[in-house]
Structure 1
């Protein structure tokens, strides 16, 4: 349980993100049912984007289905309209629901207890519901109810400069004999979305609704109900909601589809649907739970990150990805970044491999758009956009507006080409973990070949130095842009070319028919592959002369040396005094893991001495201005033997959103950080890895604070449970599939069957 035990309106937006509920199809932020002054009430449907007057296509805020208001003699029973006698709200991660208990006193002294349960069904993803248990404590009388579907919602409702409305009204009417129905369409593509709601009021098993009237109030569908409330007696008010879009059914059939779904929902009932939902949640946790003995607080924080990450990935749709803020907030417009492949995909590949395949299939669906992006920018092959929405075009804006109205040119999409290498790396990593040859042959290989072509066209031959360079790029560290020969980018470009050269040879030998078909489709020749071989061997990889210290980019070592020496109460770096008088870009201070990210991804290319030297050097210069950074330093800290610092980094990452370390949790949950937290535990402290031959390795390094660690993973033919005790002993159980040999600290260990 993640608990909020007092009400502070200035924390509303943070808790709306923390308490957001998702089921892969849609997500609804944790707003209060009755509404509050400070609120960004959002329901996003995965994959429904719109541009309108904004800089980019972004997730369109759909009509708010949640609003349910209670009145006594025109007095709203709400946390901002009454005195709060008691308040508790909690996210129940195990059951996938949001619960609340409040006791309120209005200005006439009437006291009402309101308890609630809210869930977004994982069993039937178009269904959602909230139930209120309403008890008048010191009065009897008529309680009036407003069941509202609010179509007036906009994106960035609390940011005057950026406000935009992405939908227009098409229908506002009663759902059936009772209930409300609102239908809207997106402004650009005219994609229709329908929402239907029904409210039931029951006391001691009997319907107590006296009045039921529907009103069409502009863009709000409002159903009015009332009932007689008796002192000390509890009434159950249940709001059922159903949402569909034109992506699932024809627009002409939207209302009828929602009517039929609602009939099924009402027939099933709140309790039975909630039970089905909980079983679906239980199935997710069965795959992805992490159990730590010895640190309950940290364990809860890790589970928090796992909960939001696993809840947001689509169960069935390969045309959607995972936004950098999940479905929890507006920042980055719901766009997919390199975050998916490098931070989130490993979690899914090991715990939910079918979801991982869908995430990679998304990239294949948008391959033609990536080809068009490369051509537009004067390159060959496929160049994936820095920010990707539904159509694969670049969604990173060219200009950014500051709160004071000033504009500055945004060059991120122009220079951060390493996202294309990340897409390629993600495919290779997915195939290595899952052995999904079918995906490789029919989708992955084509992407990999086209990304190799991009890097070929991106490399520039410097004749006097007899080498290839990549100019005007930005690496993961965005505080230095653009630069020449970012070592991270150059290494990943070389890796991409090398991997594809070897892959072409492998496919030609092992899958000649599929390889021939692919080569014909994309006009791939042996001469072209030979040219890749020539270039990859001469790509410039800058480092300090006479040492193994990698230079983040050409000229980095000439910048002013500034080190991080102080940390705040949350163990977060304090900005060095020197940066008050010197621009960050003129110093060696960096935003996030750059060279250290390279060491993480391509660790097999660096010896122990090189890894330690570079980790130590760059760790003292990294501000962790991105949430993507702490988990990578935690993993690499363990690799170089800096265990205590690695544990600190894990805690920073795990609690990042729970304690709002960066002050922007209001914008949504940091999805890449959530994936990085899982990687830190499993790859870092458990020491799990898969080699190129597909063999699992475990080299545990549990911290002193932990008495044990248990988690589960999928490998190609088995589902395994791995337990590591406080003495670093490893026990591996085969829950399903074949018995396999695991290399534990370099020695082969046979996994045993669960009943053995």
Structure 2
């Protein structure tokens, strides 16, 4: 395979693209971290569940970390941190349906041996091929045992695109220079708990209980049921295994790999008579659904399933149709990377997701970082999906609308009205940010105040407007969209604090997108005041709400007046507030927050020399030494500059002018340069945001950040092994598709077909 285009310099070592539709990984000489990173990037999913791209014969604790996750399935557990009882809600790692292994028949008086890479079996060749166009992962393995027997194994795997509860494996076993009996064993590994993220080791990560397992049978079908410990989500899996010209086989005592349910078949193979193993797995979950009911459903799924070859045909046909209707990447030089990102986005959210209650997790359904929660990363995803897959974009918005009641409760908990959308959301839309975070460098627990970020609602309000504008779905804007926008505006109006001396309003005790600055130095009350991004976005949201109210047809205005109790007097106050929120400035630039200029200046180049590592997690580096970035003029990621990405230049200028601030291109350019030299880019989204901002002002650093944005999940150091970064991926897609005029039509030019 040809190497990845030079634009992707620094891609995963051992992973290449042929420039179009296939990505190949050769694990030889690669360490566990690279293999886990590859397992993330070769995850297969269909919007209902997804499974990481590990080997079917991997034991549970091996490199690669097998993991299956279902959209919208969370569970909460309790633990004690620093003497405080804490509840932690997480996406749930489900039982592993992948196990599929072959064994040489045992010689007389001896033990059978597995056809897997081992200290005794020599691996002559091994490669994985991710076929984006057909949605299939291939695993090729060529082995030689101590007796000189050479065998080729080829597994094809698919999480079915049309049948949202089915997955398929097809394994071909082809002897090269021998013949004889083999035994094939397949099953489901029930021994799963969330154990991927080392710094979560202080949490209770056991989420499954109540296991019921089938007995081994001769018909090749086994099943397993369980449920989550607190959310009481029922889970059922069943698999059926068949091999032409085979017979039932009895597995030995003690099942390798810790599988809890399994079935075995025996057959004879020869160079001219390979064995083909078919395994179909059905997986279902259900809130408050009895596991026995789910078991009946998965067994019915298997009873009704077509032949494996037909399943693979319909699956690949569905993926081909998807690509035919997907806009072709505007940046053809990096089309392979952009297709990979489109592939993963489609696996997380699509028409199947629109029929269930699930949001867009920041790390996809690909791993356990951030506990599988929903952040504001959906903002960039909705921007992309609004013009490529409006149904999926609307599903993201509907996830938020269904949690409008929870957002109202969150607002009340902040002594406000309206809707306050949380920084981290999971099952029911409550704020689930854990108030403690562990620094893996020092081993110490630190207070986490990031739940004070009050800008998520503003981003959501603008996402609703953008969706309506790009999809043409004005009905949504005038119904569910308006309900959310009005309630979000109401939150900012009631959360704001009026200063009678200046006539300005303030948003106090907040945290901005930067996250480093969550409390003032030498203060005890968390939060900072008047984060510029939050205040400007709040003002823009208030203006959006006023404009929407004015544009509503009379009957819709009357209905909303009843549904959300909004009226003309309240809207008039929103308009006033949109003109009187305070925005801090200093030295001719927009201040990140009030008092930012009084913080100490610090030279990032000196810090880089001091720590001799990337400064992205400067908070961890400094905390280990008893210091913290909150004391300095330094940002983890784009904060003030997010304004130049979320809002168009015209919108930003108009919003600041409405607030009474003179905002010229020169002021913005000074602001951009000011924060460029103070940002360590500790977020994967930072490169895309900076590329967008810099491109709009024709800054010479724009190409550098664009190249970085496109390869975030392909380069080491971003913890992709713990899950993809959907926000960064979709921001890169939107960035590649956009014209320099941010108000213009995205630069897509039709569709393309694969081979």
Normalised by the length of structure 1, the TM-score is: 0.84
Q: Is the 8 A contact 1:212 1:224 kept in 2?
A: yes
Structure 1 residue 56: Cα displacement: 2.2
Task: Measure the CA separation in 2 of the matches of 1:530 and 1:118.
Answer: 58
Match of 1:167 in 2: 208
Structure 1 residues 581, 177: closer, same or farther in 2, change over 3 A? closer
Task: Measure the CA separation in 2 of the matches of 1:447 and 1:575.
Answer: 34
Match of 1:408 in 2: 446
Task: Measure the CA separation in 1 of the matches of 2:720 and 2:423.
Answer: 22
Match of 2:44 in 1: 21
Task: Measure the CA separation in 1 of the matches of 2:67 and 2:122.
Answer: 27
Q: Is the 8 A contact 1:49 1:59 kept in 2?
A: yes
Match of 1:640 in 2: 697
Note the 1:545-584 alignment, pairs <5 A. Answer: 547=588, 549-562=589-602, 564=604, 583-584=628-629
Structure 1 residue 671: Cα displacement: 0.7
Q: Is the 8 A contact 2:285 2:294 kept in 1?
A: yes
Task: Measure the CA separation in 2 of the matches of 1:457 and 1:438.
Answer: 28
User: 1:71-115: CA deviations, max 9, x gaps?
Assistant: 113212212452211111121111111111111123443322111
Match of 2:535 in 1: 490
Check if 1:536 corresponds to 2:578.
Answer: yes
Match of 1:197 in 2: 239
CA RMSD of aligned residues (A): 2.9
Match of 1:703 in 2: none
Task: Measure the CA separation in 2 of the matches of 1:285 and 1:609.
Answer: 43
Count of residues paired in the alignment = 679
Match of 1:57 in 2: 89
Task: Measure the CA separation in 2 of the matches of 1:369 and 1:574.
Answer: 33
Structure 1 residues 318, 451: closer, same or farther in 2, change over 3 A? farther
Task: Measure the CA separation in 2 of the matches of 1:198 and 1:318.
Answer: 26
| Partner residue of 2:150 out of 111, 125, 135 | 111
Q: Is the 8 A contact 1:65 1:148 kept in 2?
A: yes
Q: Is the 8 A contact 1:44 1:60 kept in 2?
A: yes
Q: Is the 8 A contact 1:67 1:148 kept in 2?
A: yes
Q: Is the 8 A contact 1:25 1:46 kept in 2?
A: yes
Task: Measure the CA separation in 2 of the matches of 1:462 and 1:59.
Answer: 43
Deviates more, 1:134-143 or 1:145-154: 134-143
User: 1:600-653: CA deviations, max 9, x gaps?
Assistant: 22221234333322222222222110011101111122111125x322212212
Structure 1 residues 688, 132: closer, same or farther in 2, change over 3 A? farther
Q: Is the 8 A contact 1:386 1:416 kept in 2?
A: yes
Which protein has the bigger strand share? 1
Task: Measure the CA separation in 1 of the matches of 2:238 and 2:36.
Answer: 26
| Partner residue of 1:617 out of 669, 674, 679 | 674
Note the 1:409-558 alignment, pairs <5 A. Answer: 409-413=447-451, 415-481=452-518, 482-507=527-552, 511-544=553-586, 547=588, 549-558=589-598
Per chain length, whose mean CA-contact separation is higher, i.e. which structure has more relative contact order (CA < 8 Å, sep 6+)?
A: 2
Task: Measure the CA separation in 2 of the matches of 1:697 and 1:292.
Answer: 12
Q: Is the 8 A contact 1:573 1:623 kept in 2?
A: yes
Task: Measure the CA separation in 1 of the matches of 2:64 and 2:140.
Answer: 19
Deviates more, 1:66-75 or 1:611-620: 611-620
Task: Measure the CA separation in 1 of the matches of 2:64 and 2:751.
Answer: 43
| Partner residue of 1:657 out of 699, 713, 722 | 713
Displaced runs of 4 or more, over 6 A = 212-219, 571-582
Match of 1:630 in 2: 687
Match of 2:100 in 1: 68
Deviates more, 1:589-598 or 1:81-90: 81-90
Note the 1:65-104 alignment, pairs <5 A. Answer: 65-72=97-104, 73=106, 74-80=112-118, 82-104=121-143
Structure 1 residues 248, 110: closer, same or farther in 2, change over 3 A? farther
Structure 1 residue 490: Cα displacement: 0.5
Match of 2:14 in 1: none
Secondary structure in 1 matching 2:405: helix
Task: Measure the CA separation in 2 of the matches of 1:229 and 1:109.
Answer: 16
Q: Is the 8 A contact 1:215 1:222 kept in 2?
A: no
| Partner residue of 1:398 out of 435, 451, 454 | 435
Q: Is the 8 A contact 1:564 1:574 kept in 2?
A: no
Q: Is the 8 A contact 2:696 2:742 kept in 1?
A: no
User: 1:340-382: CA deviations, max 9, x gaps?
Assistant: 0x22111110100011111111111000000011112212111
| Partner residue of 1:588 out of 620, 628, 633 | 633
| Partner residue of 1:257 out of 287, 297, 300 | 297
Task: Measure the CA separation in 2 of the matches of 1:105 and 1:629.
Answer: 47
Secondary structure in 1 matching 2:247: coil
